[in-house]
Chain A
Amino acid sequence: MELTLMEGNEAIAWGALAAGCNFFAGYPITPATTIYNTMLKLLPPKGGICLQGEDEIASIGFCLGAAMAGMKAMTATSGPGISLYSEQISFAIGSEIPIVIVDVQRLGPSTGSATKGADGDIQFMQWGNSGGLPVIVLAPVDIKDCYELTVKAFNLAERFRCPVFVAANKEISMTRETFCLDDLALPPIVERRQADARTPYLPFEIKDNGTVPDFLPIGGDRLVRQTSSTHGANGYITTDPDEIAAMQARLNLKIARSVAEFTYFDEYLVPDADTLVIAYGVTARASKEAAKRLQQRGQPVSLLVLKTLWPVPEILIKEKAAAYQHVLVPEMNLGQYIRELQRLLPDKKISFVGQMNGELIKPGQIMEVFAHG
């Protein structure tokens, strides 16, 4: 076994490259800056483009333009930058522009603490857009996930023509870690479906009972229209309530209906446990350590690690939690994803371990819940 040592952020950049990313733009912000640094080393020598925008709004704007011209684009920032991205994210959702957005979460609110970790943007990533349509959010647990989930994020962005978030955390992104490149399980690369060259092209037309319009690049041989306004299949403004409703329903359905196909998770289920810990991100690691130690103490506890956070993998959660009386949710925030679990599992006793102090939740803090029964 040969190990490779790198930072989570570097693994995200290498994952992007492996996925075919050829356009990156970002504005430096701790703890996401090293993604930009790495992309700047990787892309230009390979014919790709890496830009430093004058601000976050420009950075994601470059990406949206490039994505519509056919490139595979990624941007990376932290909470303050996601706030500035917000309107552009809404645009990418409504106008079906593929883009990968990395949110290396840091302790908020606002400027908060640049070098402290948190998972404080978990609801924000989903709901920080106007219109309230679903987005896809994947959350890495470790460096291997940083690589693999970034590849998957690109595949999903291409397939569904939508923004896909990688919900990292300073504690994963700026932690150096060893992993084995040969252990990576990378999926085949997905490219957005190109329109048939023989038929007339309408940029938002849906064919064959599908939910995602075929793509043609701006600048190609056939004319392409893109617009942030409410549009019909032809890419022109529409005021027809039926056409508008159908488009909104489709934007909702295309993501929501397919979540089973990209429900990424790990599970460590042990017999005789009456508690299921449901965790994500870096806190899944303390949870796993806690579960191990509790097992040694004769207190078996099961663990479900969610790597797809949005849309909420409801079927998986209900199925996995069915056998347990008690669900424990540790989060590096004051209680965000737990809201989804409370909604899905109304008949379970759900407990919470959370903190927002810039520190990792320790295995001991999770074990304490069991000490008190």
Chain B
Amino acid sequence: MASLLNASRPAVFCPGCSHDRVLHALDQALTGMGYTGKDVAIVTDIGCSGLFDTFFNTHAFHGLHGRALTYATGIKLARPDLKVIVTMGDGGLGIGGAHVLSTCRRNIDLTLLVLNNFNYGMTGGQCSSTTPQDAVVGSGFLNKLEKPIDICQVAGAAGAGQVSRASTYQKDLVARLQTAITFEGFSLVDIWGICPGRYTRRNKLTPKSIEQSQTQLPALTDFQALNARMEYGKAYREQAAKLSQPPDPVRIKVTCQAPRTGRTEVVILGSAGQRIITAGELLCLAGASAGCHATQKNDYPITVMKGHSVSEVILADTTIEYTGIEDPSVVIALAPEGVNRRQKMLAALSSDSVVIKAAGLELPPSDAVVVEVDFKAHKIRSQDWTLAALAVMARKTQALTMDMLTAALKLRFKKAVYDTAMAITQKIVAC
């Protein structure tokens, strides 16, 4: 099999750089497995290891520092048949740590080669996430204060499908790379090597000492057995195939007539759990069933199960321009939380406005016509007050009709819920 290395672009690493050996080992691994250039994409990070893609005649993607795994993930999901190899230094490992962890968790079929030389070669030998605490590097005393990461343990704990530790100088490096490339899932090879350009100017590191250090480390857990599961892309496609097609957007037929022309503003004030937002949506659907345009703006805190809930709805037989509330025709007030949010608006209501309010609720004085409803006396549960209030609105105001509300309920709910909802509206209309 012909080499995948680009004859016209020979590698430019410093003499003695371990990257050069890994480069050739990767070439031998790929060609030994029968891959041609178009079968492979090499995705590289920043730094000296980020030059890898330029030396290969394969598909190549060289992106931002620490983000190589993110592009590789997009490429692999788009092209499941492509063999995607990612090279990254110990610098990329640190800056892109979140992506390393997440890629391990995903178990997507990528091979990550960490070219671990314990420092940032390209920028002047500063400490990285793997620099030993006793090393002398370009970051002064700072590396003495930070514990180096053992990426193999971290990756395994994060769920990587296959994890292995290697030395650039071990005889079976090619075979080790092939094992990683063959693995269907995320495999990470932590390849220790020497950076004569920076690191070994002030630190002693030899192929022998690397081998010794590695043998002194406790053996890695069998992460392949521990983390065995289906490859991410395969699992994704399997899950997706089970999904049913999403329904098309609903086209609302005009089945009834709006009680009046012009713009009607409705504000619903309540608290979380009172189905205020649903009521706003029902009003919009009711409007559309009568051929009206509708807008709905909601206001609720990020704690969705507590606090105020406010919905502002506008219905109009013409296009709605401004979506804010200027002069509400109807205000439905059901809880103090919502009322507190709109004190100013409530106080300014004119005699043209109708307020439908829950019995006992205190409102600031205004000129509005107030309709008080004792929902409790009608044995209506608090979460149904909004719906009941809409029924009152249909009966007492010129903003909504029962036909419109019925049409909205039909659009919004399935049969069983629709029946219950209709029963609630009838309960209040009957009184």
Contacts and interface: CB of A to CB of B under 8 A. Distances in A.
A342 interface: no
B61 A68 contact: yes
Contacts of B81: 219
B111 to A, nearest CB: 15
B285 interface: yes
Nearest to A285: B321
Contacts of B208: none
B365 interface: no
B134 interface: no
A44 interface: yes
A114 B37 CA distance: 47
The B interface, classified by DSSP as helix, strand, loop or mixed, is mixed
Interface in B277-298: 280-281, 284-285, 287-288, 291-298
B229 interface: no
Nearest to A22: B78
Contact of B322 (A47, A218, A286): A286
The A interface, classified by DSSP as helix, strand, loop or mixed, is mixed
Nearest to B77: A49
Nearest to B72: A65
Given A2-B253, A226-B62, A219 B73 contact: no
A174 B78 contact: no
Contacts of A181: 249, 251
A27 B313 CA distance: 30
B38 A223 contact: yes
B157 interface: no
Nearest to B285: A5
A343 interface: no
Contacts of B58: 223
A55 B249 contact: no
A228 B70 CA distance: 14
Contact of B281 (A10, A25, A68, A176): A176
Contacts of A292: 321
B64 A87 contact: yes
B9 interface: yes
Interface in A297-353: none
B53 A225 contact: yes
Nearest to A3: B288
A190 interface: no
A134 interface: no
Interface string B331-374: 00000000000000000000000000000000000000000000
Interface string B94-115: 0000110110000000000000
Nearest to A25: B74
Contacts of B77: 23, 49, 51, 62, 66
B61 A65 contact: yes
A88 B75 contact: no
Contacts of B70: 53, 57-58, 60-62, 64-65
Given A45-B244, A65-B75, A1 B294 contact: no
A169 B257 CA distance: 33
Nearest to B105: A54
B15 interface: no
A61 B67 contact: yes
Contacts of B324: 286, 359-360, 362
B79 A69 contact: yes
B75 A171 contact: no
A276 to B, nearest CB: 18
Contacts of A41: 246
B251 A218 contact: no
Contacts of A285: 321-323
A363 B292 CA distance: 22
Contacts of A55: 98
A70 to B, nearest CB: 6
A253 B38 CA distance: 33
A346 to B, nearest CB: 31
Contact of B321 (A64, A225, A286): A286
Interface in A237-265: 237
A218 B294 contact: no
B38 to A, nearest CB: 6
A65 B240 CA distance: 21
Contacts of A363: 321-322, 326
A357 interface: no
B12 to A, nearest CB: 11
A73 B73 CA distance: 13
Contacts of A222: 38
Nearest to A359: B324
B135 interface: no
Contacts of A10: 249
A171 B285 CA distance: 20
A5 B60 contact: no
Contacts of A63: 74
Contacts of A30: 302
Nearest to B62: A227
Contacts of B291: 1, 3
Contact of A2 (B62, B251, B294): B251
Contact of B74 (A64, A114, A360): A64
B59 interface: yes
B1 interface: no
Interface in B139-194: none
A171 B99 CA distance: 33
B321 A45 contact: no
Contacts of B295: 175-178
Contacts of A66: 74-75, 77-78
A23 B102 CA distance: 19
A68 B102 contact: no
Contacts of A42: 246
B64 A5 contact: no
B251 A3 contact: yes
Contact of A220 (B38, B53, B245): B38
B67 A57 contact: yes
B416 interface: no
Interface string A63-103: 11111111101000000000000011001000000000000
A54 B70 CA distance: 10
A221 interface: yes
B413 interface: no
Contact of B249 (A6, A49, A57, A223): A6
A60 B73 CA distance: 11
A362 B62 CA distance: 49
Interface of A: 1-6, 10, 14, 23, 25, 30, 41-42, 44-47, 49, 51, 53-55, 57-58, 60-71, 73, 87-88, 91, 114-115, 171, 174-178, 181, 217-229, 235-237, 282, 285-286, 288-289, 292, 359-360, 362-364
Given A2-B253, A10-B249, A62-B71, 13 more contacts: A3-B252, A25-B74, A51-B73, A66-B75, A66-B77, A91-B64, A176-B284, A177-B296, A218-B79, A220-B38, A221-B38, A223-B59, A289-B322
Interface of B: 9, 37-38, 41, 43, 53-54, 57-64, 67, 69-79, 81-82, 98-99, 101-102, 236, 239-240, 243-246, 249-254, 280-281, 284-285, 287-288, 291-302, 320-324, 326
